[in-house]
Amino acid sequence: MEVIYYGHSCFEVHYNEHRILFDPFIRPNPKAASIDLSSINPTLIAISHAHGDHIADAESIAKQCGAPILANYEITSWFAEKGVEQTIGMNTGGTYRSSDLSISLTQALHSSSFPDGRYGGNPNGFALNFGTRRFYYAGDTDLFGDMRLIGQHYNPEFAFLPIGDHFTMGYERAAEAAKLLNVKSVIGMHFDTFPPIEIDHEKVQQHFSREGIRLIIPSIGETIKM
């Protein structure tokens, strides 16, 4: 499995024929200026919530490659109105299944509204199962006790967790989340993009190390083997 980091909370996960893009926010992020948007060609776009720093490039990427957008019903309806032809509208607790892939929408503790102020439905995370590989993408969230149930039910091998604080949980609560999920590897996200979420990389790494958890703090453009 390959994971490509495009900055903020945007990742593309490659496994077999699947190329799943999460929360595309690239062009408005000056730190991701090196990323060529036209080269991104996912088979599916998954959006956790409606905030601009998670949807900014979803419409253009969906239209350039024809990939469906998978998200809650409010988000997919908004994109359908903008001319995105393929959408998969869901809600919390539901599971989308296609060949060897299943994607379940989990809860997240956050808010969700579009840049135009329209209601964006409930925020979500995603539990993915490729049959032989499994992981959890938390979206923007605080720590919550039912992460233990997500770990028990979906049995993820690793998790994408926000670590930047201020708008989401910080690194200490993210380490607690990893324990509830029963994962030993975490890919950090939602950090360094804006001044309020800048982190001390060494301090954060040391905390996870003390907790016995492997933390990957990716660099923009980096490809990670998982």
pLDDT score of 64 more than 90: yes
| Interval 9-35: pLDDT, tens | 999 999 999 999 999 999 999 999 999
Report residue 212's pLDDT band, with 50, 70 and 90 as the boundaries: very high
Domain boundaries, the chain: 2-225
**pLDDT averaged over the chain?**
98
Mean pLDDT of 93-109: 97
Q: What is the pTM of this model?
A: 0.98
Report residue 99's pLDDT band, with 50, 70 and 90 as the boundaries: confident
pLDDT score of 161 more than 90: yes
The CATH H-level superfamily of 2-225 is Ribonuclease Z/Hydroxyacylglutathione hydrolase-like (3.60.15.10)
Q: Tokens 């200026």 — which residue?
A: 33
Report residue 51's pLDDT band, with 50, 70 and 90 as the boundaries: very high
Distance CA 82, CA 189 (A): 28
Q: How many CB atoms lie within 10 A of CB 52?
A: 12
Distance CA 154, CA 104 (A): 9
Using CB atoms within 10 A of its CB, is residue 119 exposed (0-12), middle (13-18) or buried (19+)?
A: exposed
Closest CA to 68 of 51, 52, 49, 47: 47
Report residue 213's pLDDT band, with 50, 70 and 90 as the boundaries: very high
pLDDT score of 144 more than 90: yes
Mean pLDDT of 136-143: 98
| Interval 191-201: pLDDT, tens | 999 999 999 99
| C-alpha dihedral sign at 49, 96, 226, 63 | negative
Distance CA 148, CA 139 (A): 16
Using CB atoms within 10 A of its CB, is residue 114 exposed (0-12), middle (13-18) or buried (19+)?
A: middle
Mean pLDDT of 163-181: 98
pLDDT score of 134 more than 90: yes
Distance CA 172, CA 192 (A): 16
| C-alpha dihedral sign at 73, 93, 25, 140 | positive
Percent of the chain scoring above 90 in pLDDT: 100
